[in-house]
Structure 1
Amino acid sequence: MPVRVQTEDFDLTTEVAALRTRNPRIGAVACFVGTVRDLNDDSTVETMELEHYPGMTEKSLEAIVASACERWPGIDVLIIHRVGKLYPLDQIVLVATTAAHRGDAFASCEFVMDYLKTQAPFWKKEKTEAGERWVDARVTDDAALARWGVEAGNQTKK
């Protein structure tokens, strides 16, 4: 299954090993692991709570995988995204891609992460010393997605 949304942590080594066995023709694996930062917007983060819409979120992530596979035929993709209460240094997300060559593995991994940051329906609430706050989308995330020819809020190519 290329997409999982879960509360439990994941093991990078185990997940990448399983992904590698799905296609013996791969020559490259690229991975991104996102973690909870202990500082955001000059405030100490005590916890982060991630919420999602079950069913809708998985479909959105599957669409991201399909878009990446269309752009880079022959790649394989794994997305694991955690939800629930997390603490600084906890793993949030794993994006791993495999390809015949490193260029496609790196590019597709970066594309999936850029796409996920703006298109996947997750909501983050941080608890800081000043109280709780929702984390707003960043303009830099929209700019990262735009370089792939995709506008924020629009899941089709330009």
Structure 2
Amino acid sequence: MNRVQVQTEDFDLSAEVARLRAGDARVGGVVTFVGTVRDMNDGSAVSSMELEHYPGMTEQSIERIVEQAMQRWPLYNARVIHRVGPLQPLDQIVLVAVSAAHRGEAFAACEFIIDYLKTEAPFWKKEQTPSGARWVDARVTDETALRKWAAR
């Protein structure tokens, strides 16, 4: 199983969790995060969004983030799926899933991975709003979330 996948197709959360566990009796906890497209952002309605990436570079960047989490916590497995292309409100964008012996490590690693994905992975997001298309920058809150990991 590839730990990192960038794709246009949707993903099945149940199937991905089953694949992550794959009969590993050591697993005591699986934590997942699924990000979805909202219909509002920064006070404007969002009718659709498009995610662009740099093929090859994006996967390598995400793999480095996952590897950092694997080194930092005693994880058994990790999986990141990130969608690209045109997306609509309610569509799933990203899955981060990790397995570990205990929930604490799994929660921390999952949060670490998504925090780094939001700020470090090379994705470009364009939203369609009533005022037209706009590119979306990383949020200050995303940068703040990232800094907390450097302090630990």
**Counterpart in 1 of 2:135?**
134
Contact kept, 8 Å, 1:75 with 1:105, in 2: the verdict is no
Q: Structure 1 vs Structure 2: percent identity of aligned residues?
A: 66
Q: Structure 2: how far apart are the matches of 1:85 and 1:74? A: 33
- Which aligned segments of 4 or more residues in structure 1 are displaced greater than 4 angstroms? none
Q: Structure 1: how far apart are the matches of 2:99 and 2:59? A: 20
Q: How large is the RMSD of aligned CA atoms in angstroms?
A: 1.2
Q: Structure 1: how far apart are the matches of 2:24 and 2:49? A: 36
1:113 aligns with 2:114: yes
Shift of 1:76: 1.3
**Counterpart in 1 of 2:56?**
55
**Counterpart in 2 of 1:15?**
16
In the alignment of these two chains, the number of paired residues is 151
Contact kept, 8 Å, 1:97 with 1:109, in 2: the verdict is yes
**Counterpart in 2 of 1:90?**
91
TM-score, structure 2 length as denominator? 0.96
Q: Structure 2: how far apart are the matches of 1:110 and 1:64? A: 12
Range with greater deviation from structure 2 (49-58 or 14-23): 14-23
TM-score, structure 1 length as denominator? 0.92
SS of equivalent to 1:104: helix
**Counterpart in 2 of 1:42?**
43
**Counterpart in 2 of 1:155?**
none
SS of equivalent to 1:75: strand
**Counterpart in 2 of 1:153?**
none
- Residues 1:80 and 1:89: Cα distance change in structure 2 (over 3 Å): same
Shift of 1:136: 1.0
**Counterpart in 2 of 1:104?**
105
Q: Structure 2: how far apart are the matches of 1:4 and 1:22? A: 22
Q: Structure 1: how far apart are the matches of 2:88 and 2:102? A: 35
Q: Structure 2: how far apart are the matches of 1:131 and 1:74? A: 43
Q: Structure 1: how far apart are the matches of 2:105 and 2:76? A: 8
